[in-house]
């Protein structure tokens, strides 16, 4: 029995109890969940539904719990229901009901964990969106790992997700980038507000290779801009590809300008009555919707602001039919939330249509000191620096392992260690052990048959493992709902721990070479298969490899 099924049974037992006691069942929640108690003495699962609903129903929690327990105890698969403390229901399942989950997991395979919690949602998820004036830096790398994992988690939860990269190929930064390339090609010093670093020189030389006459052309800076931005962006895409991060759409800011979408957005906002002019500039009255101050869309010199392009881009996304736009930004952009949310509402959208996630800073440490990567890109730490330091798997894992609200210090020594203090190795090693056992089973000709006797999985290490396995779909659903993929990593570690405990408990999975295969061996082999599936699926959601041998 899955926790979800059990929760439904708890709820119907509660409804029946309300009826029996003549209480108003309307105070019961539409859905409830069971939790896995820390202390195994508290049974396999616990429910606090009596505590939560007793007050609303104006009754005693323990009396209510007793009635619910009586109903629940009569349910198939439930072995025992105890009442503890102020009114908790402690539920123990039949061993067979608990053990059957292994077979269900094996049957589901790669789709075990999929759930419908976000079915029907069409989500645009924008992340990284680094300017093509340089490589993807640490902050962008965090989102490359977290955003990609979140996209996978949401898809697994039934949402239709478009992963999108906004490519700022217009504006002042790009102009500075082009000017820097041009200066480098001419052997001049880096201009004010320009970009330094060896890569500028390298790209400038590549532009000259493609267009030897670039400096003599009619508009040399435009030639360097056009080709240089292309080269830089190809490099970014290659780095992201190497990192395993996939985008469905690369959106060009320039297209917004070329198609006149900024004017259209301004007109729309004007129509809604939220535009005013002041001292020759055009403003959006974002203070109407709680922003600190009103924001300029058009400067007094007639140029658009960056925010104006954001408005147009927002509208473009909405017109493409997404019902929710999720935007992942670095902590240094948190001041943008106010104006962005205000803009969303100025367009007439409901609060919650636009969701902005903020990720805190990332530091790379060696011997407790910040690492300085004074190479191609000046002092900026890039995606490739992190990959070179600890590898793709460890990089993706460490970045996705922590809540986005926490700053991350990546200790290079820790994340390159091959031991259980390195969480990514710990989880991968558990997976590779399950694969090793499957190989050994095949070598020795141990057959799985059509099924197994679920009641034989009754040792504490086995029932503990089964409970962790059963939790996976709800962990995925919660990670999607809260936009917190780090929950997947923490879960994977918990599962790996439960697996290693089972392994070290002296419970043989395969028979010794001179032994007959018994039903217990077969049941444990199914449990092993189920564990392998879930570890692989969890690592897959994080975009981390699940090696078969280590």
Partner RNA sequence: GCCUCAGUAGCUCAGCUGGAUAGAGCACCGGACUUCUAAUCCGAUGGUCGCAGGUUCGAAUCCUGCCUGGGGCGCCA
What is the footprint of RNA within residues 404-443 (CB under 7 A)? 405-409, 418-421, 425-426, 429, 432-433, 435-437, 440
Nearer to RNA, 27 or 361 (CB): 361
Question: Segment 62-91, which members bind RNA (CB under 7 A)?
Answer: 84-86, 88, 90
Least distance CB 278 / RNA (angstroms): 6
| Residue 300 interacts with RNA (CB under 7 A): yes or no | yes
Nearer to RNA, 152 or 295 (CB): 295
Question: How many residues touch RNA (CB under 7 A)?
Answer: 88
Nearer to RNA, 216 or 301 (CB): 301
| Whole-Å CA distances, 414 to 395, 409, 410, 411 | 12, 11, 8, 5
Indicate the SS3 state at residue 52: helix
Least distance CB 215 / RNA (angstroms): 26
Alpha helices in 294-422 (DSSP H): 306-319, 337-346, 383-390, 392-401, 412-415
Least distance CB 545 / RNA (angstroms): 13
Nearer to RNA, 38 or 350 (CB): 38
- What is 413-480 written as a DSSP string? HHHT--STTSHHHHHHHHHHHHHHHHHHHHHHT----S---GGG--SHHHHHHHHHHHHHHHHHHHHH
HEC assignment per residue over 145-158: HHHHHHHHHHHHCC
Instruction: 364-371: list long-range contacts, CB under 8 Å, 24+ apart.
Output: 364/138, 364/389, 364/410, 364/412, 365/409, 365/410, 365/411, 365/412, 366/411, 366/412, 366/413, 367/413, 368/411, 371/412
Question: Segment 134-193, which members bind RNA (CB under 7 A)?
Answer: 168, 171-173
Q: Using the rule CB under 7 A, give the single segment among 105-113, 204-212, 263-271, 333-341 that binds RNA.
A: 333-341
| Residue 59 interacts with RNA (CB under 7 A): yes or no | no
Q: Which helix (H) or strand (E) holds 237?
A: helix 220-242
What CA dihedral angle connects 335, 138, 243 and 401, to 10 degrees? -80
| Residue 334 interacts with RNA (CB under 7 A): yes or no | yes
Nearer to RNA, 195 or 243 (CB): 195
Least distance CB 56 / RNA (angstroms): 10
Applying CB under 7 A, which of residues 2, 32, 52, 517 lies at the interface with RNA?
52
Applying CB under 7 A, which of residues 6, 468, 509, 536 lies at the interface with RNA?
509
Nearer to RNA, 66 or 548 (CB): 548
Applying CB under 7 A, which of residues 319, 447, 481, 515 lies at the interface with RNA?
481
Nearer to RNA, 36 or 211 (CB): 36
Question: Segment 245-284, which members bind RNA (CB under 7 A)?
Answer: 278-281
Q: Which helix (H) or strand (E) holds 355?
A: strand 354-359
Least distance CB 187 / RNA (angstroms): 27
Least distance CB 211 / RNA (angstroms): 25
| Residue 365 interacts with RNA (CB under 7 A): yes or no | no
In the block, which residue shows the tokens 């820390």? Answer: 38
Q: On the CB side of 248, how many CA atoms lie within 13 Å of its CA?
A: 13
Nearer to RNA, 206 or 360 (CB): 360
Radius of gyration of the chain (CA): 29
| Residue 56 interacts with RNA (CB under 7 A): yes or no | no
Encoded tokens for 108: 């589901």
| Residue 463 interacts with RNA (CB under 7 A): yes or no | no
| Residue 505 interacts with RNA (CB under 7 A): yes or no | yes
Applying CB under 7 A, which of residues 335, 348, 351, 370 lies at the interface with RNA?
335
| Residue 392 interacts with RNA (CB under 7 A): yes or no | no
Least distance CB 205 / RNA (angstroms): 25
Q: Which residues pair with 165 in a beta bridge?
A: 250
Q: Count of residues for the chain?
A: 550
Question: Segment 25-44, which members bind RNA (CB under 7 A)?
Answer: 37-39, 41-42
Do the beta carbons of residue 261 and residue 315 sit within 8 Å?
yes
Applying CB under 7 A, which of residues 184, 305, 345, 531 lies at the interface with RNA?
305
Q: Which residues pair with 411 in a beta bridge?
A: 365
């Amino acid at each position: 029995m899955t926790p979800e099924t059990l929760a439904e049974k708890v709820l119907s037992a509660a409804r029946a109890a309300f009826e029996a006691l003549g209480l108003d069942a309307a105070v019961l929640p539409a859905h409830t969940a069971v939790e896995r108690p820390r202390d195994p003495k508290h049974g396999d699962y616990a429910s606090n539904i009596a505590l939560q609903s007793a007050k609303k129903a104006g009754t005693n929690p323990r009396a209510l719990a007793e009635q619910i327990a009586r109903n629940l105890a009569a349910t198939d698969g439930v072995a025992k229901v105890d009442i503890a403390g102020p009114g908790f229901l402690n539920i123990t399942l039949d061993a067979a009901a608990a053990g059957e989950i292994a077979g269900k997991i094996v049957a589901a395979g790669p789709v075990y964990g999929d759930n419908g919690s976000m079915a029907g949602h069409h989500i645009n998820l924008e992340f990284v969106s680094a300017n093509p004036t340089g490589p993807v830096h640490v902050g962008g790398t965090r989102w490359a790992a977290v955003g990609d994992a979140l996209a996978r988690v949401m898809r697994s939860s039934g949402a239709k997700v478009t992963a999108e990269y906004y490519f700022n190929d217009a504006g002042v930064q790009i102009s500075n980038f082009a000017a820097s390339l041009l200066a480098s090609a001419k052997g001049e010093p880096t201009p004010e507000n320009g970009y330094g670093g060896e890569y500028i020189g390298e790209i400038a030389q590549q532009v000259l290779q493609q267009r030897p006459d670039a400096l003599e052309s009619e508009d040399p800076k435009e030639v360097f801009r056009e080709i240089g931005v292309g080269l830089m962006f190809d490099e970014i895409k290659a780095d992201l590809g190497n990192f395993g991060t996939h985008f469905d759409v690369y959106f060009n800011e320039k297209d917004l300008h070329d198609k006149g979408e900024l004017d259209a957005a301004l007109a729309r906002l004007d129509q809604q009555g939220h535009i005013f002019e002041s001292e020759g500039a055009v403003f959006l009255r974002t203070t109407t919707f709680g922003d600190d101050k009103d924001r300029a869309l058009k400067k007094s010199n007639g140029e658009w602001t960056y925010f104006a392009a954001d408005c147009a881009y927002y509208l473009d996304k909405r017109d493409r039919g997404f019902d929710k736009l999720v935007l992942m930004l670095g902590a240094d952009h948190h001041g943008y939330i106010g104006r962005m949310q205000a803009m969303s509402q100025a367009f007439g959208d409901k609060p919650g249509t636009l969701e902005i996630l903020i990720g805190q800073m990332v530091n790379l440490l060696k011997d407790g000191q910040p690492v300085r990567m004074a190479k191609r890109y000046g002092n900026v730490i890039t995606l490739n620096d992190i990959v070179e330091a600890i590898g793709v798997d460890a990089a993706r894992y460490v970045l996705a392992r922590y809540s986005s609200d926490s700053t991350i210090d990546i200790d290079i020594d820790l994340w390159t260690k091959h031991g259980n203090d390195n969480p990514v190795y710990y989880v991968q090693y558990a997976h590779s052990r399950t694969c090793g056992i499957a190989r050994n089973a095949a070598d020795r000709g141990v057959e799985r048959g059509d099924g197994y006797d679920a009641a034989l999985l009754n040792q504490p290490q086995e029932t503990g493992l089964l409970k962790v396995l059963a939790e996976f779909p709800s962990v995925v659903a919660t990670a999607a709902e809260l936009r917190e993929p780090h929950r997947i990593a923490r879960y994977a570690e918990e599962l790996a721990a439960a697996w290693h405990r089972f392994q070290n408990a002296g419970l043989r999975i395969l028979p010794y070479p001179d032994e007959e295969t018994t039903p217990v061996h077969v049941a444990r082999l199914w449990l092993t298969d189920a564990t392998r599936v879930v570890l692989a699926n969890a690592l897959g959601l994080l975009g981390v490899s699940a090696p078969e041998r280590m």
